[in-house]
Structure 1
Amino acid sequence: MSTLKLFSSLLLLQLGASLFLLDPTSAQGLKVGFYEKTCPSVEAIVKQTTDSFLSRAPSLAAPLLRMHFHDCFVRGCDGSVLLNSSSANPQPEKTAFPNQSLRGFQVIDAAKSAVEKTCPGVVSCADIIALVARDAVSFDKGPFWEVPTGRRDGRVSNSSEALQFLPPPTANISDLKSRFSAKGLSVKDLVVLSAGHTIGTSHCFNFNNRLYNFTGKGDTDPSLDPNYIAKLKNKCRSGDTTTLVEMDPGSFRTFDSDYYTLVSKRRGLFQSDAALLTDSETKAYVNLQASTHGSTFFKDFGVSMVNMGNIGVLTGAAGEIRKHCAFIN
């Protein structure tokens, strides 16, 4: 190699190294075991905290899973859903209508506090949400998956964005596909993650229109099983804003594939559940899991949760590691 070519090659190598140092996010994405050296006990601490709360209040499992979803779909998985109102930002995501029913913030705060005692200033609140969601599903006899970590916390949270990006329970299939696609998620991710509705409860007002006034003429939703409508009407009166109904009757605290059996029988609680039967790809997956007792569901759910957990993450030098999850530093 000529002296000129050697010099040029060395210059390019040095330039590449300089760019790497200037942009640490270029090589620092999420990975399993991100805290292996800086906080090796983080997952054990988070699991112990989560299990402690759920053993006393098992109904928190579904809200903790939902919190991760609501965080990732707005500004990416950056912990922005955790931020409280402040004089600088009086309307954070928490105040948006879809988030006013979120619960379990005390679990995240307790896990963060416990981690901070061992590894101060190291683990992000965004990563803690992701770990807690996994542990909540596992607690309810659901799958366990490896959670890639390395997220950093965002500094911005706007209620208007929550209204814009979170899929409503009234969404049809084209709306759902559009919203998931915009976040880099596939149609399979959509139908897999919808089964998070196998645990938890919902207020009647999220589906009451299907029972009493579907098209504004005092009618019912024809896509909902009439026998199920009768059962739901016994629990939910017209205009009911307080009553809670199990989303997966009989096993709403067990993470299983029964969701798909219900949807296949036209007993999905929300319009967004019923919508899965109006698309060939999502319908095929629903019928497969319903007929095979969820043969691939647990594995698929873990994969889709990892995919969701990758949305819009902040890594490297972006964002911050919050000292308290409800406030920016």
Structure 2
Amino acid sequence: MSMRRLFVLGVLVSVIVTLASLNVSDDADDDVTESDMVYEFDEGLLVERGSIEEADGSVQYDFYRDTCPEAGAIVWRTMKQIVFDHKNSTAQLLRLLFHDCFIEGCDASVLLDDSSGNRSAERQAIPNKTLKGFNFIDAIKEELEKACPGVVSCADIVVLATRDGIALSGGPFFPVLTGRRDGFQSFFDKAMAEIPRPDGNISETLRLFALRGFSERETAALLGGHNIGHFSCEFIQPRLSNFMGTGQPDSTIASDFLEVMRRTCSERNISSADDGGDAPSPMRARSLREFTKSMTYQKLSTSISSGPGFDTHYYQSLLRGRGLLFSDQQLMAYNKTAEVVKEYASDDGKTFRLDFARAMIKLSAFGVLTGSRGEVRLTCSMLN
């Protein structure tokens, strides 16, 4: 039997064990059941051995099978309750994962507090000011520490919680590697400079993703994560009247949709309350003012032939000139990404969901620390 087949067989066994461990009974969590989880597994989702830079081979499927065999079940069980209690939690965690992994890899650096009061923590960078979901990571960490003190890293918790949240929100289930370690550093300057902007053009967005090894297709797939969660009017309003100093609205907005956006995101919807939105939108714009209203691609889908959950409404909206962010609509400004948008919007969502899962596996494996590098934090917001 070839090494490839042996590897696939081994991983399949690990995935089956993982899925079985998730089918736990907990009366407190019966409001959200495993029937809500969409198991979509394909051999194409397997990560090739050697495709990830490893320090000593310690990142693997089911890493905690000996040291904390219930880790996956604990994360899943806790996430079931979180998703039931907080409908937008998946979008918040997806954005948190993206902002963590995009800057120097998936090392939980974005979770670190700026306890010294200086500007060194990336959590304090402008693009990260409206990140949410830290409390969910802390809640899961607390449960894991009860069962397996000092074993499961915060970096792994971010990845596992996001994966489970996506599945519980109607998205695909996909296998992820575990065994990440938590970083010692935080990267304020890089977070300021390299998180994609909501007003970024397609060239800049593709450049930032390409620097991390993502193709144009993978970039379009990852941006599809915007189909869940809320976009604060803070990100939308600058497109409506004086876009980039032109004195005119963004010309890429369909005329009928411009009126819809203006009705929701007018200047009068400004408040001192902080509703930064929870969709995985790339970056917080300037904000001395706060907007109390938001828009979602799921609500836009009521007039589109698309399902209510993790579906193709994001891409169908872009085809109609109804992108909420300029950077979203820019996918239609470049032939190659426009073709991907059309492909994802044209079927029942299977192509998008598979590509999204593959891209998420790749993103969650980016720049990981393993072996003796990093640590397993006891509290996710501070170093040991």
Distance across 2 between alignment mates of 1:295 and 1:185? 21
* Structure 2 residues without counterparts, runs of 5 or longer: 1-52, 271-289, 302-307
Q: Within 5 A, what are the aligned runs for 1:1-329?
A: 26-87=55-116, 91-238=120-267, 240=270, 241-250=290-299, 254-329=309-384
* Letter of the structure 2 residue corresponding to residue 309 of structure 1: S
Conserved in 2, the CA contact under 8 Å of 1:74 and 1:162? yes
Q: Could you list the per-position Cα deviations for residues 82-127 of structure 1 after superposition, in whole angstroms to 9, with x for gaps in the alignment? A: 0111127554111112111111111100111111111111111001
Deviation, structure 1 residue 316: 1.0
- 1:250 counterpart SS class: helix
Comparing 172-181 with 204-213, which one deviates more in the overlay?
Answer: 204-213
Conserved in 1, the CA contact under 8 Å of 2:83 and 2:90? yes
Q: Could you list the per-position Cα deviations for residues 165-200 of structure 1 after superposition, in whole angstroms to 9, with x for gaps in the alignment? A: 110111111111110011121111100000111001
Conserved in 1, the CA contact under 8 Å of 2:153 and 2:377? yes
Distance across 2 between alignment mates of 1:27 and 1:320? 15
Conserved in 2, the CA contact under 8 Å of 1:63 and 1:104? yes
Q: Could you list the per-position Cα deviations for residues 226-251 of structure 1 after superposition, in whole angstroms to 9, with x for gaps in the alignment? A: 11110010011138431332231427
Deviation, structure 1 residue 283: 0.8
* Structure 1 residues without counterparts, runs of 5 or longer: 1-23
The verdict on how the C-alpha distance between 1:244 and 1:28 changes in structure 2, with shifts beyond 3 A counting, is farther
Distance across 2 between alignment mates of 1:100 and 1:146? 30
Distance across 2 between alignment mates of 1:121 and 1:290? 44
Q: Could you list the per-position Cα deviations for residues 11-33 of structure 1 after superposition, in whole angstroms to 9, with x for gaps in the alignment? A: xxxxxxxxxxxxx9543252211
Corresponding residue for 1:6?
Answer: none
Conserved in 1, the CA contact under 8 Å of 2:300 and 2:317? no
- Flag as ranges the 4+ runs of structure 1 deviating above 6 A: none
Corresponding residue for 1:13?
Answer: none
Distance across 2 between alignment mates of 1:257 and 1:249? 9
* Letter of the structure 1 residue corresponding to residue 196 of structure 2: P
* Letter of the structure 1 residue corresponding to residue 186 of structure 2: S
- 1:196 counterpart SS class: helix
Corresponding residue for 2:304?
Answer: none
Distance across 2 between alignment mates of 1:193 and 1:54? 21
Conserved in 1, the CA contact under 8 Å of 2:236 and 2:265? no
Distance across 1 between alignment mates of 2:343 and 2:246? 36
Conserved in 1, the CA contact under 8 Å of 2:331 and 2:337? yes
Aligned residue pairs total 306
- 2:294 counterpart SS class: strand
* Letter of the structure 2 residue corresponding to residue 277 of structure 1: M
Q: TM-score, normalised by structure 1?
A: 0.89
Distance across 2 between alignment mates of 1:161 and 1:134? 25
Deviation, structure 1 residue 260: 0.6
The verdict on how the C-alpha distance between 1:110 and 1:251 changes in structure 2, with shifts beyond 3 A counting, is farther
Counting aligned pairs with the same residue, the percent is 39
Deviation, structure 1 residue 290: 1.1
* Letter of the structure 1 residue corresponding to residue 198 of structure 2: P
- 2:89 counterpart SS class: helix
